[in-house]
Amino acid sequence: MQRRGNPGFTPEAPRTSARPRTLEELLEEMNLLRLVDKFKAENIDLNLFFDLTEKDFEEMGIAYGPKKRMLTVIDRYRKTGQISSEPIEVEVAPPPPYTTNEDGGQKEMIASMRYIRQMNDMTKQLAMDALEVARRSNNGDT
C-alpha cells in the first residue's frame, strides 16, 4: 500500500474531546471492531488509516459495506478534519407552504384523494370476494 500525504489536517490536531484516539476506538464507534486484527496485521494505525484508498481496502479483503463506511469517514476527515463516524447533520429547507390557486387546485386534490380512496375500497372488496370464492372452492361449498 502506498502512503499518501494529507496536507492541512493531521490526526494529532485537536478536535473534540470525544473523538477517537486510536484506530481501535474508531472501528468500535463504527461497529467494525471485528476488523481490528486485519489492520494490526498490516501495521495500520489511526494516522495511516486516513491515507487508505478503496484499492487498499480491496487488497486487504474488506467487504463492500464496511469499506464504503470507512471511506466515508476518511473522506469526511480529508474535507473537514473531523474524525467521526457519526452522520453529518444537514439543514433541510422546510417545504413550501401549501397554496391554492384560483381554479380550485385544492378542490381538485381533494377530489383525487376521494377517488383514490374509493378505488382502494373497491380493490379491497374484490380481494375479499376472491378469498371467499377460493375458501368455498377448497371446502367444496360451491
In a domain, 93, yes or no: no
Q: Which sign, positive or negative, has the C-alpha torsion 129, 135, 138, 141?
A: negative
In a domain, 30, yes or no: yes
In the block, residue with C-alpha cell 377448497: 138
- For residue 137, the enclosing domain spans 103-142
In a domain, 58, yes or no: yes
Task: Verify that 14 and 71 share a domain, yes or no.
Answer: yes
Question: pLDDT tens-digit profile of 92-129?
Answer: 667 666 555 555 677 788 888 888 888 888 888 888 88
Task: Verify that 132 and 81 share a domain, yes or no.
Answer: no
Give the Cα separation of 49 and 63 in Å (integer).
16
Question: pLDDT tens-digit profile of 30-74?
Answer: 899 999 999 999 999 999 999 999 999 999 999 999 999 999 999
Give the Cα separation of 11 and 45 in Å (integer).
11
- pLDDT band, residue 13 (cuts 50/70/90): very low
pTM of the full predicted structure?
0.49
Task: Verify that 9 and 79 share a domain, yes or no.
Answer: yes
Give the Cα separation of 32 and 20 in Å (integer).
14
The grid coordinates of residue 98 equal: 401549501
DSSP 36-87: HHHHHHTT--HHHHTT--HHHHHHHT--HHHHHHHHHHHHHHHHH-----SP
Task: Verify that 77 and 107 share a domain, yes or no.
Answer: no
Task: Verify that 11 and 38 share a domain, yes or no.
Answer: yes
Let me know: does 81 contact 16? Beta carbons within 8 Å. no
Task: Please tell me the total count of domains within the chain.
Answer: 2
